[in-house]
Structure 1
């Protein structure tokens, strides 16, 4: 294998576009100084897991993102959140000027009250008509009863009662007549007063009238009803029936008015509810809990229905769509773990969905991966790299800056008994700013990781450097 000089090694590491996964961490380093007085850093080499290549890339997205738009028109009175603010579901984001909507609501309320009053008035009319119907029915019954009596004539019992009444009235009259004659004689003789005589004459007159009435009633019963009386009774029935029809017509009119008033009230209620809903929509609220990702409006500008005002997303969990070649898609499974790398930070994501179709432009199939983001420090829009495989093989890894190459074999400086010893090595893979050492070092060796470029083999390194070692191999 052709060896690389230091410059080429650094360019190789810098030019890698997809980061490499490193499981675990390096040994703690120790700061010290060389003979020249330059600071150096020593680190113990150990076996570390080799990372897999991150051969997929994608852009982070909020796991649940929605555009929030106004559902009403008007001037924006004020906004209450800024980009980056956390909001809960139902939180107020912005408010429109409500004066026009409040006026519409007031008008709708007045129309609803007027329609409600119309219903009450129609109810009163219907109830009055029902009372008139009841009265007219009673009048019909009474008139029909009277007509039947006239048509049927007097009953035998009624005639007997009338005859008895005449007999009783005759006896009373005869008694009052005798009493009046005796009182008159006594008055003329001065035995009774004028008042007593007048009372006796008055009682006689009343008795005579009662007798005449009883005789007339008996005569009517014996003679039967006249044609005129029957006609009058029949007319009474017709008038009562006409009154019933009039009351029923009034009732129907009242019911029609009530139905019309109820329809008007229903329309007014709908208009009121629509006005109330329109007023409610002047306050823009968040439909989900999350973070304000984008704000597209400002105070004082005109807002319109359907225009986007905010983008709200849940970024406590992010997602990314990875473009997996269709030839490899069978090796991907739901709930599979995926390593996600961003700026040398690695997180474990989970496959949540594998899309059912291939992208016609790229020939890849999207795999959706969910990524935890509890501290919200990863942001939507950032580009990440990803790897599905997890390789647990290990190797000796050293930092790139510890390796020196001047055209010969690459080498490092081992720290041995306080001296820097030049040690040739063979290199393998480059992984995440570190180089795999195939030979020349063993786990536990200590090497100079910083300041190696100022050293010569045999230089003393430590806090009490005295001079250059005679064991220098240069």
Structure 2
């Protein structure tokens, strides 16, 4: 095969080019101005999907997880050993403070109570007899005092008669001495009656002490009897039962576990960088809950369709030296009139509301455009030949999963009801015409930032 010399090889590209432009060159100049060259298309007005600026509340939140725990959860032990003869509750039962959960064999204790009651009754009877003795002693003393007074008068009368005349004495010396002896004996009887009264008063005090001692013995017997009953120390729910009828229950074995399910809290830790945020909240911030702390919104995996309100009750006054975090105690509550579903040990996801903007301008996140560190939106405005876009610089505020708060750099540049470009903003610049497509033919990659040309 012979090779064609290089300078004789046809220039195929040149031939095609001449063939393409040949006919156009042969036409008049007037026709050339009306014809669009092949490969060049007139730019179409791009379709865009609009959205509207809304005015509503936006909040700043911190998200964390924790497990609920009860304020009060205790193991209940029997105070005395014994054999279980009656079980009155089961797991899941709600009980009140003082309710009897189980009873141990208490026959011996019942006999001890009965014996103490008899002893107290005897002591009270003895006290009553002592009161009678006191009354008798007082009557005896009064009688002896009367007799002594009469003996005193008789002795003085006889003494005057004996001393009135030396010649004819109506009373002998012996009779006068007998009268004096009677007086002294009456005085001695008065002293004995007084001693008897004092002795009765002392017996009264002793009988009162005996009554008190018998009462203490009865109270102790009754207390011992009550210790044979295992009772609930507070309102709650039986979460565990460890004994059965006939079991020998000891004081080292937990018979029940009682949980207060009405007062639940969530404990979690936050880095110390957030301590000021938790500590310096003021009412003007709008982030406080009904009970004065930071407001909380919580959800659970067990009930994903329900939301629970709560608040931060307190924070730890110290920072853990190892982790550099501080502990936070939060409270959750369930709406009145609804079934109680929160339980200790349940995993909750909490959003802690640290600030509120009740009158924020809000747009869908996809309507916000980014250009480096700058943020802007494209407003849809009426132009001379149709709808055009206008670039409005903004700053980002609070945001959630779907929406973001925007703050116009120029005050009043945006307001509720302003229409923005949501989808279809790629390669659009300030002043470009667009076609508003309410049906959603405009497309844009989800999550892709729009960069102006």
**Residues 284 and 360 of structure 1: CA distance in aligned 2, closer, same or farther (over 3 Å):** farther
After the TM superposition, which residues 427-466 of structure 1 pair with which residues of structure 2 at under 5 Å, given as runs?
Answer: none
Given the superposition, is the C-alpha separation of residues 364 and 296 from structure 1 closer, same or farther in structure 2, using an over 3 Å criterion?
farther
Distance 1:224 1:133 in 2: 34
Counterpart position of 1:200: none
Residue 63 of structure 1 and its aligned partner are, at CA, apart by 4.5
2:143 maps to 135
- Equivalent residues of 2:155, 2:180 under 8 A apart: yes
2:197 to 251, 261, 264: 251
In the other structure, the counterpart of 1:275 is: 221
Q: Tell me the distance in 2 between the aligned counterparts of 1:311 and 1:222.
A: 107
Q: Provide, for residues 34-68 of structure 1, a one-character-per-residue CA deviation record: whole Å limited to 9, x for no partner.
A: xxxxxxxxxxxx99999988752221112544444
Partner of 2:271: 325
Partner in structure 1 of residue 345 of structure 2: 381
- Residue in 1 that maps onto 2:105: 97
CA distance in 2, matches of 1:59, 1:443: 46
Q: Equivalences for 1:199-238 in 2 at 5 Å?
A: 223-238=169-184
Could you tell me which runs of 5 or more consecutive residues in structure 2 were left unpaired when the two chains were aligned: 1-50, 282-291, 367-399, 405-421, 426-436, 442-453
Q: 2:313 aligns with which of 346, 352, 355?
A: 352
- Greater shift, 387-396 or 69-78, is seen at 387-396
Answer yes or no: is 1:365 the counterpart of 2:326. Answer: yes
In structure 1, the partner of 2:258 is 312
Q: TM-score, normalised by structure 2?
A: 0.57
Residue 118 of structure 1 aligns with which residue? Answer: 126
More displaced stretch, 90-99 vs 63-72: 63-72
8 A contact 1:71–1:306 mirrored in 2:
no
Q: Which segments of 5 or more consecutive residues in structure 1 lack a partner in the other structure?
A: 1-45, 160-219, 398-430, 447-474
User: Contact 1:119–1:261 at 8 Å: present in 2 too?
Assistant: yes
Larger gyration radius, structure 1 or structure 2:
1
Aligned counterpart, 2:154: 146
- Residue 362 of structure 1 and its aligned partner are, at CA, apart by 2.8
For 2:332 and 2:113, the matched residues in 1 are separated by: 48
Q: Distance in 1 between matches of 2:344 and 2:234?
A: 17
Structure 1 Cα separation of the partners of residues 98 and 116 of structure 2:
27
2:240 corresponds to 1:294: yes
**How far off its partner does 1:236 sit?**
0.5
C-alpha change, 1:154 and 1:238, in structure 2 (3 Å) is closer
Matched with 1:61 is 69
Distance 2:256 2:352 in 1: 35
**C-alpha distance 268-368 of structure 1, shift in aligned 2 (>3 A):** same
Tell me the distance in 1 between the aligned counterparts of 2:167 and 2:276.
118
Deviation at 1:143, TM superposition (A): 1.4
CA RMSD of aligned residues (A): 4.0
1:351 offset after TM fit, Å?
1.2
Aligned pairs for 1:185-204 (under 5 A) are: none
Judge conservation of contact 2:162–2:169 (CA < 8 Å) in 1: no
CA distance in 2, matches of 1:284, 1:233: 78
CA contact (8 A) 1:58 1:322 kept: yes
**8 Å CA contact retained: 1:63, 1:318:** yes
Specify which structure has the bigger relative contact order, considering alpha-carbon pairs within 8 angstroms and separated by 6 or more residues: 1
Report the alpha carbon displacement of residue 145 of structure 1 after superposing the two structures with TM.
Answer: 1.1
Aligned residues of 2:137 and 2:196 also touching (Cα < 8 A)? yes
Residue aligned with 1:384, SS: strand
Secondary structure of the 1:319 match is strand
**Partner of 1:58: helix, strand, or coil?**
strand
Deviation at 1:265, TM superposition (A): 1.3
Residues 145-185 of structure 1 show CA distances to partners (whole Å, capped at 9, x for unaligned) of 111111111899xx9xxxxxxxxxxxxxxxxxxxxxxxxxx
Q: Give, in whole Å, the separation in 1 of the partners of 2:438 and 2:105.
A: 72
